[in-house]
Amino acid sequence: MAASGLNRRDFLKVSFVAGTGLVLGCHLPGGGKLDVTEAAAVDAQTLNAWVTIAPDSTVTIFAAKAEMGQGIRTSLPMIVAEELDADWNKVKVEHAPGHSTKHGNQGTGGSSSIRTSWKPLRNAGATARAMLVAAAAQKWGVEPAACRTEAGFVINSKGNQRLSYGELAEAAAKVPVPKEVPLKDPKDFKIIGKKTARVDNPKIVDGSAIYGIDVKVPGMLTAVVARCPVFGGKVASFDGSKAKAVPGVRHVLQIPSGVAVVADTFWQAMQGRRALEIKWDEGPNASLNSAAISKMLKEKASGTAAVARKEGAGAEGMKSVAKKLEAVFEVPFLAHATMEPINATAYVQKDSCEIWAGAQFPQFMVQAAQAITQLPATAIKVNVTLLGGGFGRRAEPDAAIEAIGISKEVGTPVKVILTREDDMQHDFYRPASYHTISAGLDAKGNLTAWNHRIVAPSIVGQRWPDQIKNGLDEAAVEGAATIQYHVPHLNVDYVMANTAIPTGWWRSVYNTQNAFVHECFVDEMATAAGKDPYEFRKAHLEKSPRLLAVLNLAAEKAGWGKPLPKGRFRGIACHMSFGSFVAEVVEISVTEEGSIQVHRVVCAADCGIVINPDMLVAQIQGAVTDGLGPTLKGRITIENGQVQQGNFDDYEITKMDETPVVEVHVVPSAENPTGIGEPGLPPIAPAVANAVFAATGKRIRRLPIRPEDLKA
């Protein structure tokens, strides 16, 4: 293979800096679904990743994507190091600071980091290698073809000479940037595809790793904010005198989101907040509740919808089926519940603004800082720390907005911390949704018609209404409009149903609910056709060989069709999301009281070329665990305009002793890599629901699954 067309867009600058060596920068294009505001705003020729080679042959690779446990600060450098033929033991990894133009799109979401970085970072490593080879060839007076590279050295195949990358760095920096460079054949990979320990592990283990909540800046104060418990409410009046009397409290001030108490320590700020006397103007949403939202979604389902995908006769194809089934599904709002509390630190000075935060989208923080401070983007710096869980929550700049505003007002660095209750009751929630679905079989039991209507709030429409064209939010139909089963007559449409509840991206976003709906309903259709759920899926995946392959592998490894111990039951589901294919088979048992225990989950995945197998396994295991919480327990409910849940006692997640055995198997692939951080989550809920049917004969059409759903 060869990478062609390398120009200033691909490599903006090559220079030698005294004491540094060869410095290369490459542009990473935007990707994923979360960059809707970035595409036009980012200069196409800005740097967002570097490779530096020091005279001692140390290779420093700057990773420009956020590390939130998915191992991206290891995987991205592995791509560069592979094509560079670097000695991995001499590779250092540093995080690129967030910047609105200098580093391009640094957004981390939509499982896009590897997918969008794969080619540019391979080109970066291969171009550096070619320049090092050219420099060595000049020194030896031979053709570059007579040289090869190996573990940080250029070797003269004819003269048995070798020079380290560090020795060649200065000369290489003076070599013209080649327009085309050869890329390795994947069969020759030595780093990619090998189990590699995360570069952050030592610091995480010894406690020296810095997360946002660990940040300390000289002169820093800590702030907590009292926010109206009702969505859309605001401060009517407040008395901060008692709060100011609390030792350590320095400031009490009203900000757009509420009343901030600023103190020397977090504890003092909390004590001050408890002493506040506030009267709230609860606004128009004071009577909003979950029942009313559900009723609104149901009513809108009978309205006009925007067509997202139509095959054959579309919805009209239902008129000619031999057997028809209909169903209604509903799923609730969900919170992110990240382990590390949401936080951000900011220091606004006359000519600069600096932010420290675990940020999935540092550019959102830069934009916010520009609006608040009126400073140019070049005067704003975002230091991206490790993230103690992201899942889409840390795409939001809300804590940074508060920290910037407070710091500007009080003139010192300020860290804003949200308690667990603050975050859970003022999150940006995974949207609730309501689904009507119908499908038809022909006389032979084959799917011939499929009609799926999605009624849900639009994350994009709530934030950027001008992004919505003809009433269709393409993100809201992901996993439904991209259904892989072959159906001659297919219609998927969408009805936007926004509410006052703020919505945001949640791990695998709309795929979580849309996969639940169609994978449960496929099982229902299999039963109606008198066929095994696995065999029924196989028969309709002839046009999706990659999804079929993972389905077959998961079924094989799970022993589908073989007897299970008494009281155990299986369910199966498969789904494509973010360009990756995952199938899962679960084994469950159900008590007489309706308690469900998931004992085993067998997963098969195809995400193209695997960069680091350890990361793939960890991500799927984590996705399954994340997905089990809202399948069996977690949901956000609204009463009197307020979220009723506040902590892990009433918003339950999967506990350690409830975690099943999760086996992960990979379908080998030569396709370009796609995402894996999210695709493991969508199949788990329908797989469990389908296993519940096998155990009880009861169809599950809402989440979380409740004991009453299993009774007659």
Question: Domain map of the chain by residue range?
Answer: 2-206, 212-283+342-417, 290-333+429-710
The least confident of 40-49, 99-108, 199-208 is 40-49
Q: Which CATH number fits domain 290-333+429-710: 2.40.170.20, 3.30.70.2740, 3.30.1220.10, 3.30.365.10?
A: 3.30.365.10
**Whether domain 212-283+342-417 has CATH 3.40.630.10:** no
Q: Look at residue 170 in the predicted model and tell me its pLDDT.
A: 84
Q: Look at residue 496 in the predicted model and tell me its pLDDT.
A: 98
Q: Is the pLDDT of residue 114 over 60?
A: yes
pLDDT above 70 coverage of the chain, percent: 92
Q: Look at residue 54 in the predicted model and tell me its pLDDT.
A: 83
The least confident of 17-31, 382-396, 663-677 is 17-31
Q: Look at residue 61 in the predicted model and tell me its pLDDT.
A: 83
Q: Look at residue 585 in the predicted model and tell me its pLDDT.
A: 98
Q: Is the pLDDT of residue 507 over 80?
A: yes
Q: Look at residue 101 in the predicted model and tell me its pLDDT.
A: 54
Q: What is the largest CA-CA distance in the chain?
A: 85
Respond yes or no on whether the N-terminal peptide bond of residue 704 is cis (omega within 30° of 0).
yes
With bands split at pLDDT 50, 70 and 90, how would you rate the model's confidence at 712? Answer: low
| 3-state per-residue secondary structure call for 392-454 | CHHHCCHHHHHHHHHHHHHCCCEEEECCHHHHHHCCCEECCEEEEEEEEECCCCCEEEEEEEE
Cβ(685)–Cβ(630) below 8 Å: yes
576 versus 56: which is more confidently predicted?
576
CATH code for the structural domain at 2-206? 3.30.365.10
Give me the mean pLDDT over the 587-598 stretch.
Answer: 94
Q: Look at residue 30 in the predicted model and tell me its pLDDT.
A: 40
Distances (CA, A) of 699 to 327, 362, 435, 524, 525: 10, 43, 15, 8, 12
The overall average pLDDT reported for the chain is 91
Whether 2-206 shares its CATH topology with 212-283+342-417 is answered yes
Cβ(57)–Cβ(165) below 8 Å: yes
Contacts of 198 (CB under 8 A, 6+ apart): 71, 73, 74, 204, 615
Q: Look at residue 22 in the predicted model and tell me its pLDDT.
A: 52
Q: Is the pLDDT of residue 121 over 60?
A: yes
